[in-house]
Amino acid sequence: MAVGKSPVRKDAVAKVTGKARYTDDFIMPGMLHAKYVRSPVGHGIVKSLDAKEALALPGVEAVFTYEDVPDIVYATAGHPFSLEVDHQDVADRKLLTKHVRYHGDEVAIVVARDPLTAEEAARKVKVEYEEFPVCVTHEAALAHDAPKIHAGGNVIKSHSFEVGGNLDQALSESDVVVEGEFKTPVVQHCHMENHTAYAYMDDHEHIVVVSSTQIPHICRRIVGEALGISWGRVRVIKPYIGGGFGNKQDVVLEPMAAFLTMKMDGAPVKLELNREECLVSTRTRHSTKSRCRIGATRDGALKGIDLDLVSNTGAYASHGHSIPSAGGAKSVNLYPRNVVKYSALTHYANIPSAGAMRAYGSPQVIFAIESAMEDAARAIGMDSVDFRIRNVAREQDVNPLSQKKISSAGICECLEKGRKMIGWDEKRKQYADQTGDVRRGLGVACFSYGSGTYPVCVEIAGCRLILNQDGSVHMQLGATEIGQGSDTAFAQMAAETLGVDYDKIHVVSTQDTDVSPFDTGAYASRQSYVVAPAIRKAALELKRKILGHVREMTGKAAEGMTIAGGKIVNQNRPERVVLDLAEVAIDAYYHKQRGGQLTADVSHKTRTNAPSYGCTFVDLEVDVPMCKVKINQIINVHDAGVIIHPLLAEGQVHGGMGMAVGMALFEELLIDPKSGWVHNSNLLDYKIPTFVDIPNLECAFVETVEPTSAYGHKSLGEPPIISPAPAIRNAILDATGVAVNEAPMTPKVLFRHFSQAGII
Amino acid sequence: MAVGKSPVRKDAVAKVTGKARYTDDFIMPGMLHAKYVRSPVGHGIVKSLDAKEALALPGVEAVFTYEDVPDIVYATAGHPFSLEVDHQDVADRKLLTKHVRYHGDEVAIVVARDPLTAEEAARKVKVEYEEFPVCVTHEAALAHDAPKIHAGGNVIKSHSFEVGGNLDQALSESDVVVEGEFKTPVVQHCHMENHTAYAYMDDHEHIVVVSSTQIPHICRRIVGEALGISWGRVRVIKPYIGGGFGNKQDVVLEPMAAFLTMKMDGAPVKLELNREECLVSTRTRHSTKSRCRIGATRDGALKGIDLDLVSNTGAYASHGHSIPSAGGAKSVNLYPRNVVKYSALTHYANIPSAGAMRAYGSPQVIFAIESAMEDAARAIGMDSVDFRIRNVAREQDVNPLSQKKISSAGICECLEKGRKMIGWDEKRKQYADQTGDVRRGLGVACFSYGSGTYPVCVEIAGCRLILNQDGSVHMQLGATEIGQGSDTAFAQMAAETLGVDYDKIHVVSTQDTDVSPFDTGAYASRQSYVVAPAIRKAALELKRKILGHVREMTGKAAEGMTIAGGKIVNQNRPERVVLDLAEVAIDAYYHKQRGGQLTADVSHKTRTNAPSYGCTFVDLEVDVPMCKVKINQIINVHDAGVIIHPLLAEGQVHGGMGMAVGMALFEELLIDPKSGWVHNSNLLDYKIPTFVDIPNLECAFVETVEPTSAYGHKSLGEPPIISPAPAIRNAILDATGVAVNEAPMTPKVLFRHFSQAGII
């Protein structure tokens, strides 16, 4: 059994020894460097542009402006292409723009022989702007007299659904109806490796883009679309990547890199953002404002959830309305036996563009729902955990939105387990009726999430397996290792099904769209769920071919044989070794009459989705006068189905919890409401929590077996980030009686709320 | 129809614009450079080695000697691994040697931060040798008291066969029996790009070797064997390559590069030979000495051929006895209706190692046979062309050695065509009875060759096709483009069978053993013949999948449809377009329910071989007192079956003829018989013909249709080099009456022969 163990990560040695090569580790002779000329105004139009001085600088090769780029409006969101026109991403940008829509927008680009010269030259490009009023907030952007950021107006899209019955009726049947307004901030991914890409041409036809991307195959398409060239001419290579979290599920630099190499006759041109650019001019998490109502009866029955959410996508749509759309839909799996009404609207504003970020709308939606759930529990006087256990999904429930049966749901057990781990019942009593400056509180919050994007998007994955002469197997995937450990989990799956040792699976970690099987990449916590069936199918096919060749070699029927421990063995008596796998391989390759190279090349579409679940328990203390929160204990308990690699799963949960603590207590991109200027566009002022700030992170799993999944597993990539923020909010409420309905819950914010509540 | 046309080469633009990247065009940060310490004695043993001074040089990282390398004896010849132990290559070398066997042998290697420092340090390594007697010639190496160059003695192997009857009887039935002794020289390939390779490690397990090689997959195996590591740990990448001609069908540098990167903790280490090293320390063509007897009756019936050949492989076996073995076997297809007796022996000597070189033994064998055939024709008083036409292979003949039927044989037509083109009959009369200093002569010579190595070696090829979203197709092959134009021909084949335009086939030109389908590489004129069925099979499979998806899309039966011009059309009414291929592709990729990425991944073993044929006609003049030859006209006529790309085919023939003229009239590596020192190890003294020296080259084709071939074609890569040398020898004989039975026929050689003959 290879699945369920924790072997050494496939990339562990490469990474800890510094041998792993990232995009910036590759150099090419004659490489040129490009730097954007960025707008210093938040909204406006270029009146004049003068590049003479820049061009005169020695080492400057070219300057291109919005006048030089293709007249093609394209979309950057990293989604698979959709056959449904309505479902295609919003195309709202060109490679460079005359109409600048945020402080940092791109009007021109300089190409020089070295990066410092490019930077200096970019400063020497003189641009005059006509300034327009700047809309930063929801209110400003949606005001009836707001300046139009894009021709179609500032609303991108809105939608709503009402499922499981009629909301008004449900609320009228409720004993209590609670209501709250919630706000979530603009935060940044802060992956270690900034956005970087370079492109070159091998001839006059083919463009190669090497990029730190989560989505090489999607990137290929978008480069083709942005430049108006056949996709087959574009090749995208993804080396090791230093984090993405969704920010590299957007095609930010690659079309420009490709454009520049075409302009520079195929010379390699590199585009590397610095941290400041990366914080402002890539993608952020959508900030939201929402109103949530929850109705319940005194006996603890949740009757209805009503959530109305407004989402700010910033200057360009990017993932746009897909974020609240997905966030809303995925939450329905959590409480499926009641009415859910959900309305959402997404608008433009003159702030950095928001895109995909870990959990894709769910943290925003769940912050509102799980805060309101807490308020409802308190209103009916029921224990928060009990109230949730009463109402969360159970196996065989039917999701009222998708109409699909929920086949595995361990959320009840997660709540029970977490409650026990944190000592909920004893602490609850202990923390009752606190006074004094420092008060302790307990909080809980749940979440549900999906495994992939089906049925909203196509779910396609590919796997190619090659049996080597030494009995080892090379595995090619289109799915991308982005630090989450997917190569390792995939190798375990292949080893499991093939019957060979994990060490014998060599994963081709670099994706190259010319040769890697098609897969849309790392996002939506899709990979382990949707790639697994492709791996399983490929492994079964290769196994069948291997046993078929054994039959040719031995004349014995293949039916009685299987592969175990890298050996062909008698199915019923595995100790009876027929042949070593290497012997079979050597014969298949080199026998003059029979055999051939044994490979399996599989493409698979997943037509199911599986909800994953979990919850966060928090024990914290609030120093009320200091408006400071200290987390004493925080536990995430997950139902992600079967755990493929327990150690990596734990690491994944820790990472998500750390990021969640950042979003809950520390992080926000502070944008000047008048100018659109980002005040803290650097890692000194944008305060992500450090090791000192992060509490000890605990996690546990409830292993269900998801029947639609190849190895019984479900998503775990994004989920750990979803529930900590509302659990922290609920614990602060528990400690202080004050509902802080906005993140981040910094001392400044707490001061405002505590003052209003009169506790300081 | 894509086959039979001459579209622009796939690599034309890349190469003429300088965008094509060769091994030396890649640089890696921290790349180290290695230089061999070479023996200045022709035969001996290292008594002491002192690297202190070298190690003290700033920039020197390490020095490794024969004591540091693995205690593994391996073989370097680029053959597929053989399941028959007797047929495996001769393992006779370690990475470095204490026992030096030629002037240039490798005793140590220096690794430094730059190539100049490495070179300087290599000179500073002090080595003392005990010198042994040096054997350079056949006679010296085979003398009973010759010093043993390898432990097993100086004879590597010998073999013989006698087929088609009994030779003695055949000669006794002959009216004339002619006999001659023939000599062919050591020549060098002189490819433009010297041998170069570098290696690095991605972790502690995987070694990547980038190399200018014809045989990436074989190279992978030999690196594994030489280092004693699993083959699956080795990855070989082959970028564009500047010529090989067989010299890169040997694994010369790659195991050492791999060894060095392992020693240097995975740092990239580069090994680049300079021209002098490339001329001496890579591989050469085996020099041979042979005795040939031919018996014929007065009516022109060839009764028997008896050839006894001795081949000098130099210091290490490399391809060793395979050369005369193949050369002898392949010649039997030429005159299959008579007795052929063939004996060959290969021995070591203290000269540079011989290996594979274009036509692999055939030029040596055919030089003897076709010279003797000329002598026989003269002896029976029959026209040389008529004599050959009478005796060459015809369709339905059975090869007496292989017992296989000859299914296509255009050699008669080739001879008729060439005779007409050169105006043989008229010139023959015109050139009779010449006197004076400058005399003209006519010569002809034929050859037969194989298409690949079956049944001696396994013939395996792979092809993977991927349908792109734009309806174009990516093609991955293990077969290597080495300048011969194979990528272009392969694209034509795929286009032909798939029904798409040639321009829509994107060939992945770089081989990468981690992902490229398995194929043993470019040698034996095998590729077009043995790769074609893999391409055809893959194209048919992809076509079947495409039409299957069309059926899913349209609900119509696939049987009535086909693909033409990149469109799905009605089979009977091709003007009726059902769908564009791009539409089918988009649906297959992105429809949520049906389809998937459409690919075909095929491995194919070829279990046939097809003889190809041809002849050379020469009209030349000899300035007798000056001992100088001037070629007035030279024509090669080939039966290579169906011609896939007429322009490339012509180019291939021109290249081979030019090389043949070099071997016939100019080239020889001059080796000092006492010291083993190569006098002319540079391109100033080793005189390859320049444009000024090469006559106008003419060629023509006789297109037969080979039924065992996927597209009716046969080999053409090496054949053009085989017959020019004997045709030139025969024309000199025709002009002067003097049989110059050795190449190169330089003025110096002619002077000796003309003096002996008394004509000067």
**Which residues make Cβ contacts (< 8 Å) with residue A99, sequence separation at least 6?**
A44, A45
Task: Tell me: pLDDT of A559 over 80.
Answer: no
pLDDT digits (tens, 9 = 90+) for A358-403: 999 999 999 999 999 999 999 999 999 999 999 999 999 999 999 9
Describe the strand order of the beta sheet including A196-201 as a list of residue ranges: A60-65, A106-112, A32-38, A269-272, A196-201, A207-211, A234-238, A511-512
Looking at residue A557, its pLDDT comes to 77
Looking at residue B632, its pLDDT comes to 98
Helix or strand or coil: residue B201?
Answer: strand
> In the structure encoding, which two tokens stand for residue B206, read together?
């995987």
- Residue B592 to residue A221, Cβ atoms within 8 A: no
Looking at residue B750, its pLDDT comes to 98
Instruction: Provide the terminal-to-terminal Cα distance of chain B, rounded to the nearest Å.
Output: 59
- Residue B17 to residue A203, Cβ atoms within 8 A: yes
The Cα A219–Cα A207 span in angstroms is: 12
Residues 518-547 in A contacting B (C-alpha not used; CB under 8 Å): 518
- Residue A514 to residue B474, Cβ atoms within 8 A: yes
pLDDT tier, A1 (very low <50, low <70, confident <90, very high otherwise)? confident
Of B13, B14, B515, the CB nearest to A515: B515
Looking at residue A558, its pLDDT comes to 67
Tokens 């042949």 found at: A579
pLDDT digits (tens, 9 = 90+) for B216-229: 999 999 999 999 99
Residues 478-517 in B contacting A (C-alpha not used; CB under 8 Å): 504, 506, 508, 512, 514-515, 517
Give the phi and the psi of residue A458 in degrees, each rounded to 5. Answer: -65, 140
The Cα B706–Cα A135 span in angstroms is: 75
CA distances A565 to A487, A503, A523, A568, A587, Å, are 20, 11, 33, 8, 19
**Which residues make Cβ contacts (< 8 Å) with residue B150, sequence separation at least 6?**
B92, B101, B348
pLDDT digits (tens, 9 = 90+) for B556-585: 876 789 999 999 999 998 888 999 999 999
Q: Is the ipTM of this complex over 0.85?
A: yes
Looking at residue B160, its pLDDT comes to 98
**Which residues make Cβ contacts (< 8 Å) with residue B544, sequence separation at least 6?**
B558
Mean pLDDT of A529-545: 98
Provide DSSP, A592-619.
Answer: SSS----EEEEEEE------EEEEEEEE
Q: What type of residue sits at position B662?
A: G
pLDDT digits (tens, 9 = 90+) for A37-49: 999 999 999 999 9
Give the phi and the psi of residue A337 in degrees, each rounded to 5. Answer: -105, 30
CA distances A66 to A108, A180, A317, Å, are 6, 45, 19
Residues 563-602 in A contacting B (C-alpha not used; CB under 8 Å): 586-587, 589-601
- Residue A232 to residue B454, Cβ atoms within 8 A: no
Mean pLDDT of A661-688: 96
Looking at residue A435, its pLDDT comes to 87
Among B84, B210, B518, pick the best mutation site for testing chain A contact (most A Cβ within 10 A).
B518
The Cα B8–Cα A680 span in angstroms is: 56
The Cα A322–Cα B467 span in angstroms is: 29
Q: What is the pTM of this model?
A: 0.97
Looking at residue B558, its pLDDT comes to 67
Task: Tell me: pLDDT of A514 over 70.
Answer: yes
> In the structure encoding, which two tokens stand for residue B60, read together?
């020197």
Nearest CA in chain B to A512: B515
Half-sphere exposure of residue A359, counting CA atoms within 13 Å on the CB side?
A: 30
Of A201, A464, A591, the CB nearest to B83: A591
Q: Of B575, B686, B596, which Cα lies nearest the Cα of B280?
A: B686
Residues 366-395 in B contacting A (C-alpha not used; CB under 8 Å): none
> In the structure encoding, which two tokens stand for residue A520, read together?
């849309």
Residues of A in contact with B206 (CB under 8 A): 506
Among A264, A463, A473, A514, pick the best mutation site for testing chain B contact (most B Cβ within 10 A).
A514
Number of H-type helices and E-type strands within chain B = 19, 27
Using CA of residue A576, residue A580, residue A585, residue A588, what is the dihedral sign? negative
Residues of A in contact with B506 (CB under 8 A): 206, 232-233, 514
The Cα B362–Cα B614 span in angstroms is: 13
pLDDT digits (tens, 9 = 90+) for A675-697: 999 999 999 999 999 999 999 99
The Cα B386–Cα B380 span in angstroms is: 12
Task: Tell me: pLDDT of A182 over 90.
Answer: yes
Residues of A in contact with B28 (CB under 8 A): 27
Half-sphere exposure of residue B742, counting CA atoms within 13 Å on the CB side?
A: 16
Please count the other Cβ atoms lying within 10 Å of the Cβ belonging to residue B404.
Answer: 16
- Residue B14 to residue A504, Cβ atoms within 8 A: no
pLDDT digits (tens, 9 = 90+) for A276-310: 999 999 999 999 999 999 999 999 999 999 999 99
pLDDT digits (tens, 9 = 90+) for A224-246: 999 999 999 999 999 999 999 99
Structural domains of chain B, ranges and CATH numbers in brackets: 15-132+195-272 (3.90.1170.50), 287-454+608-757 (3.30.365.10), 460-605 (3.30.365.10)
DSSP assignment letter at B719: G
Looking at residue A316, its pLDDT comes to 98
| Residue A96, Ramachandran bin (φ over 0: left; ψ between -120 and 50: alpha; else beta) | beta
DSSP bridge partners of B240: B22
Please count the other Cβ atoms lying within 10 Å of the Cβ belonging to residue A240.
Answer: 21
- Residue A20 to residue B604, Cβ atoms within 8 A: no
Residues of B in contact with A460 (CB under 8 A): 589-590, 596-597
Instruction: Provide the terminal-to-terminal Cα distance of chain A, rounded to the nearest Å.
Output: 59
- Mean pLDDT estimate for chain A: 97
pLDDT digits (tens, 9 = 90+) for B428-448: 999 988 889 999 999 999 999
Please count the other Cβ atoms lying within 10 Å of the Cβ belonging to residue B16.
Answer: 11
Residue ranges of chain B whose pLDDT lies below 50? none
Q: Of B293, B342, B327, which Cα lies nearest the Cα of B181?
A: B293
